[in-house]
Amino acid sequence: MSGEMTSVSTEAVAARPKRSYLPELISWLILVAGLIVLPSYGSVYVVYMVCLIAINVIATVGLNITVGYTGLLSIGHSAFLGVGAYASALMWMHLGTPLIVNMIVGALAAFAIGLVFGIPALRIRGVYLAIATLAAQYSLYFIFQQWTSVTGGDRGLSLPRIDVFGLGDTGFYYVVMLTMLVTCIAARNIFRTRVGRSFIAVREKDYAAEVLGINVIRTKLIAFGIGAAYAGVAGSLLAVFLRIVNPDQFTLVVSVFFLAAVVVGGRASILGSIMGAVFMTLMPEILRFVLEHATPEGADLARLLSPLREILFGALIVGFLIFEPRGLVGLVRRAFGDTETVEARAGEH
Amino acid sequence: MLMQILEFSLIGVASGGIYVLAALSFVIVYKATNIFNFATGEMMMFGTYLFFMFDTQLGLGWIAGLAAAFIGSAGLAMILERGLLRPLIGRPAVVLVMVTLGVSSILRGFAGVIWGPDVRQLTEILPRKPIFLGDILIPGKLAWGFVIIGLIAAAFMAYYRFSRAGTAIRATSTDQVTAESLGINIRAVFLLSWALAGVLTCASGIITASVNGVTPQLGQVALNVLAVVMLAGMTSVGGVVIAGLFVGWLETMVGAYLGASWQSFIPYLVVLLVMLIKPTGLFGERRIERI
């Protein structure tokens, strides 16, 4: 390599952090400050939506650890949300344990159930995990629905209102925000550790990872289990948030929703998961708004809404995979003049 | 008692027929293009709706309706291959699988928008009159459906085994590069195998729906089909027939003697056991690698 080129490239590398870190930090701080003061100024609807988005962010980050970072396809994510939701709801109803304990139990339960489905599938290369998680989706739905004495069957479980720090719903809002913050930072930091790096190594080339001394099967299991545990945390928050848990919250459509959030936001990017979850949570609302104003009077909106959502979820997955594999994060980077498309395609996973 | 077991067995094997056709469609796509098609169930559902549209809604009659539905399904499958999957060749398997999953969601959504969530009944093509074998009674639709499935499966397998195109597909599945260097048009093989898959799924969907009608959720039998494919070993055309009939039989027997609610666990159980004990399936090639 010529000296000139080296100097150019080091300059470019040196220039980058200066340009990007400070504004990024400031915008994150503004966002956090905004979220802290939001309950005092925002309407009930806004607070509700922000809560829902935050819960979806947690679940999406979890799925991204499995799908984006480790390259394992899970199409039963909502079933693990369900495990967390039922576990924490049952804990609360029968034992009256505090929310934090319920969240941990929800995470552990989802982790354990995840391993039940993951262990047979992850010993083999290929897309077997996808089949196993599809089986998890159907069989866990079936258990939620049929084990009436515990899960309440189709009617599900109704939970009492929760009171955190004596602040009521606002207190719960802060709990959700704090959990989101902690889980996102934890996810970001895990990829600076040995374990997290080994996830990426396994995704890139499992043989090479094995040669480097990484236990591939154990790494895959941990990655899948962590993804399920994130879903468990999100599920236990969702149970408290909606104050009802029933089987229809945890269907295949919901799993496709989270997969779409990962793909749309950007695989292997925490920021991407956040953007994807925000986008995908708001999209059905926008769709409903558009439909209400675009369709003639008397058209049956409810009948159209759910299939239209399915079309949109599917089309977003397919469209982003074909045209922008880096997701919204890639679009934003490109908008800021960072055109690494060729490199991104080559290094895609 | 013995008579009853025999009766349930026959019914079970007959109902396994629909799995055979759908699983054949899956296997041919997997063999030729190496794509794991999670949209198989939704292709079944959509083909059935096409038949419903041409036959009942447009009033073409069932013969023309059937032909139009087959052509429509084949066309749809070819559009999927050419438009969505071809541009992704060379990308990781996970990406391709995700695309088929997205496609299944899109198809389900379109069926919901166009035909609504309610059950639609198809024209009765198959005779209802039950068939008696001695004292054993088999519902007419099931028996005739099974006969038709047998004919279609036999025709498909003969085409696959003996025709030039079938040989080209098999050559491609053995070694793409060698096949291409011997003058086989790989792109045409991809298109053809998807078209065949479209026709097979459409036929299996119509026969499935001839009993209970069609809803956008018809594709949920996909899990059963996956169980069949796993048991057979993903790549075995002959194995799929045996595995399909076996899974149908197992499901009916379990439903009859343990209760219908246990039935839904069968595909899951089969999938899990195959993964644990013999990931290559019973008849599969040793393409599967442990790591």
Inter-residue contact A49 to A285 (CB < 8 Å): yes
Residues of chain A in contact with residue B107, where contact means CB-CB under 8 angstroms, are 314
Residue in A73, A317, A349 closest to B102 by CB: A317
Number of neighbouring beta carbons within 10 Å of residue A289 = 10
User: What are the structure tokens assigned to A84, written together?
Assistant: 């967390």
Residue A7 confidence (pLDDT) above 60: no
The whole-number pLDDT of residue A344 equals: 45
Residues of chain B in contact with residue A321, where contact means CB-CB under 8 angstroms, are 88, 95, 98-99, 102
Number of neighbouring beta carbons within 10 Å of residue A197 = 16
DSSP assignment of B201-222: HHHHHHHHHHHH-B-GGGGGGH
The whole-number pLDDT of residue A12 equals: 44
The whole-number pLDDT of residue B145 equals: 85
CB–CB contact A135 B268 (8 Å): yes
Least confident of A6-10, A209-213, B137-141, B282-286: A6-10
What is the ipTM score, two decimals?
A: 0.87
pLDDT tens readout for residues A298-327: 566 767 888 888 898 899 989 988 888 888
The whole-number pLDDT of residue A348 equals: 53
Please tell me the distance from the alpha carbon of residue A96 to that of residue A93, in angstroms, as a whole number: 6
Percent above pLDDT 70 for chain A: 87
- Nearest-CA neighbor of B210 among B136, B144, B147, B114? B144
CA nearest to A260 within chain B: B102
Residue A94 confidence (pLDDT) above 70: yes
pLDDT tens readout for residues B213-241: 888 888 888 778 888 888 888 878 888 89
CB–CB contact B271 A312 (8 Å): no
- Nearest-CA neighbor of B38 among A307, A320, A75? A75
Residue B59 confidence (pLDDT) above 90: no
Report which listed range, A75-84, A147-156, A203-212, is most confident: A75-84
| H-run or E-run covering B286 | none
Q: Is A172 helix (H, G, I), strand (E, B) or coil?
A: helix
**Entry field: residues in chain A:** 349
DSSP assignment of A198-251: HHHHHHH-HHHHHHTT--HHHHHHHHHHHHHHHHHHHHHHHHHHHSEE-GGGSS
CB–CB contact A313 B102 (8 Å): yes
